[in-house]
Amino acid sequence: MLLEKGYKEIFESEPWRLEGSNKFFCTRNGTTIFAFRLGDKLDWENTGFKIIGCHTDSPCLRLAPISKLQSNSYHQCCVQTYGGGLWHTWFDRDLTLAGRVLYRTEDNNGIGSRLFHYNRPLMRIPNLAIHLRDAADRNKLDPNKEKDLRPIFSSEVYRQLTHGDVQKDNVPIESRHYEGLIHLISRETGIATKDICDLDLCFADTQPATLLGLDQDFISSPRLDNLYSSYHALRALLSDESVDPNDNFINMVVLFDHEEIGSQSSQGARSEMLRDSLERIFAAKSPVNASIVRPLSRSLFVSADMAHAAHPNYPGKHQELHQPIMNKGIVIKTNVNQSYATDGVSASILRLVAEKAKVPVQEFIVRNDSPCGSTIGPIVSAKVSIKTVDIGAPQFSMHSIREQCGILDGFYYLKLFKAFFAEYHTLNTSILRS
CA dist., res. 155 & res. 167, Å (int): 19
Q: Is a pLDDT exceeding 90 seen at residue 153?
A: no
DSSP 371: -
Distance CA 102, CA 316 (A): 48
Of 16-20, 71-75, 152-156, the range with the lowest mean pLDDT is: 152-156
What is the pLDDT, as a whole number, of residue 214? 96
pLDDT for residue 286 = 82
Question: Which pLDDT score, from 0 to 100, does residue 168 have?
Answer: 61
Question: Is 3's pLDDT higher than 80?
Answer: yes
Average pLDDT over residues 332-345: 97
pLDDT for the residue numbered 146: 92
In the structure, what pLDDT confidence band is assigned to residue 165 with cuts at 50, 70 and 90?
low
Q: Which residues contact 166 (CB under 8 A, 6 or more apart)?
A: none
The residue-averaged pLDDT of 264-292 equals 91
Residue 164 has pLDDT above 80, yes or no: no
DSSP 218-257: EEEETTHHHHHHHHHHHHHHH-GGG--TT--SEEEEEEES
pLDDT digits over 17-65, tens only?
998 899 999 999 999 999 999 999 988 888 999 999 999 999 999 999 9
The string of pLDDT tens digits covering residues 101-149 is 999 998 888 999 999 999 999 999 999 999 998 888 877 778 899 999 9
pLDDT of residue 95: 98
pLDDT digits (tens, 9 = 90+) for 104-115: 998 888 999 999
Q: Terminus-to-terminus CA distance in the chain, angstroms?
A: 39
CB 298 within 8 A of CB 47: yes
Instruction: State the pTM of this model.
Output: 0.95
pLDDT, average across residues 412-430: 95
* Mean pLDDT value across the chain: 94
Residue 406 pLDDT class (50, 70, 90 cuts)? very high
Contact 92, 86 (CB under 8 A): no
Preceding amide of 144 cis, omega within 30 = no
**Residue 158: pLDDT over 70:** no
Lowest mean pLDDT among 172-176, 198-202, 321-325: 172-176
CB atoms within 10 A of CB 379: 24
